[in-house]
Amino acid sequence: SRAVHFVGYVPDSDLAGFYHRARGLVMPTFFGPTNIPPLEAMVCGCPVLISDKYGMREQCGDAALYFSPQSVEEIQGAMSRLWEDEDLRSSLIKKGLERASLWKQEDFDHRLREILGRVLDRVA
């Protein structure tokens, strides 16, 4: 319990510092795909451990460790592997940085404009 800290809300301005100092991002989610935290973590060189749900493999590729969010044992196993295997951690950091470089802010902006355009066309 001394190793886990529940910090509550973290302002955007502080978030990168958390990613830079973290051993890894553990995200046991039932939602997806295209969640922002895994991409934020990868950009900051933070290894990603994430649920094997929906489109997560398409988003994160081989730059993450996957687990069932319903399985405490799988989550714990992924966390232990990351904690104990420095080569694995280094590999995930490298792959995450490569994966994150596939998307630029312009890509997100363009996609958002497309989506908004379709929504607005339906409303009009």
* Least confident stretch, 63-67, 84-88, 115-119: 115-119
**How much is the pTM?**
0.81
pLDDT of residue 111: 84
Q: Phi, psi (5° rounding) for residue 32?
A: 155, -175
Query: Which residue type occupies 63?
Result: A
CB 59 within 8 A of CB 33: yes
Tokens standing for residue 3: 């190793």
Q: Closest Cα partner for 35 from 19, 21, 51?
A: 51
* CATH number of this structure's domain 12-123: 3.40.50.2000
* pLDDT tens, residue by residue, 94-119: 999 999 998 888 888 898 899 899 89
Provide DSSP, 48-73.
EEEE--TTHHHHHTTSEEEE-TT-HH
Whole-number mean pLDDT of the chain?
91
